[in-house]
Amino acid sequence: MSPGFRDLPPLPRRRSGSPRDRKIQVPGLEGKSGRCCILLVDDAPVNLAVCSRLLSRMACQVEPAVTGEFAVAMFRDGIAEARYDMILMDMNMPGMNGMETCRAIRKLEAELPADHPYRSRPVPILILTSENPGGKLKEYRRAGANDFLYKPFQPEVVCQALAKWIPVHA
């Protein structure tokens, strides 16, 4: 008779302080008051979980959205307080895709009063892609994206992107 799950030895617990739990310092964000708030838009739960965990290690607050429509609604709700420091967005989503979502967010920013922080410093939008953007890069930029990150996420690359784009916005 094969052993059941109850007969198996327990899995070893991960030690506190393992590399996957260590905080990651992001250059240039030391002086920022409060946590960076990032709107993370991806329809894949695994991508949301992996990226959220990585960003939380970088002292970022992550607000996930699983559709473009939901992301636009969240952005609209956060406009009054200029809640978001950055948006990380998957391009290939069902319904409203990443480019349509970028355009909708940029349209909302353009309709704000001239003295609103998002008018002088629009929120950086970084595209999340597993493909080389190649010829689509110009199309992404026309839609309102500032840059892109490759999936799977490399901590060093994400750290560099935060250091590059958030101080510009903060």
What are 42-66's pLDDT values in tens digits?
999 999 999 999 999 888 999 999 9
Question: In this structure, which CATH number among 2.30.130.10, 3.30.70.330, 3.40.50.2300, 3.40.50.1980 belongs to the domain 34-155?
Answer: 3.40.50.2300
C-alpha closest to that of 40 among 30, 31, 51:
51
Q: Where are the domains of the chain?
A: 34-155
Whether the full predicted model's pTM is greater than 0.75, yes or no, is yes
Pair of tokens at residue 70: 């939901």
Q: Please give the helix or strand (H or E) that residue 150 lies within, else none.
A: strand 147-150
Pair of tokens at residue 134: 């190649």
User: Exposed (0-12), middle (13-18) or buried (19+): which is 163, by Cβ within 10 Å?
Assistant: middle
Tens digits of per-residue pLDDT, 116-161? 999 989 999 999 988 877 778 888 899 999 998 988 888 899 999 9
